[in-house]
Structure 1
Amino acid sequence: MSNMSMSEDRIQLTEEQKRSRRRRSVAIGLILAALVVVFYAITIIRIGPNLTGGG
């Protein structure tokens, strides 16, 4: 086991890597939000007729 502190043992990202990671995180967040909207819409479409007695 080494005597290095945790800060010395960490990997330092370049600014380009940080921007790339940020863009990827935003893209994943947007995709997840879109999936939530799609599942919500599908649920409303499928349940809608049952709520009005037309099911």
Structure 2
Amino acid sequence: MSFRVEHELHGRRKGRNIGLGLTLAALIAIVFGMTIVKVSTSEFDLPRAQVEEN
């Protein structure tokens, strides 16, 4: 019972999928980081409607 050798197309597809996954993860990390920076700055204020209610 031996394993079949993987076709070279599958190897290229796997490499492409890993690259795409890393690119997607980097994009998500950038958007998350920008959101954290935007919210954590001292210039971030609540909208006027929420301020007036409190």
What is the TM-score when the length of structure 1 is the normalising length? Answer: 0.67
Say yes or no: does 1:22 pair with 2:35.
no
Runs of at least 5 residues in structure 2 that lack an aligned partner in the other structure: 46-54
CA deviations on 1:4-53 (whole Å, 9 max, x unpaired) are 7xxx4x44211111000100000000000111111100000000126xxx
CA distance in 2, matches of 1:37, 1:47: 15
Q: Who is 1:47 aligned against?
A: 40
Which runs of 5 or more structure 1 residues have no equivalent in the other structure? Answer: none
- For the aligned residue pairs, the C-alpha RMSD in angstroms reads 1.9
Percent identical residues: 16
Aligned length: 45
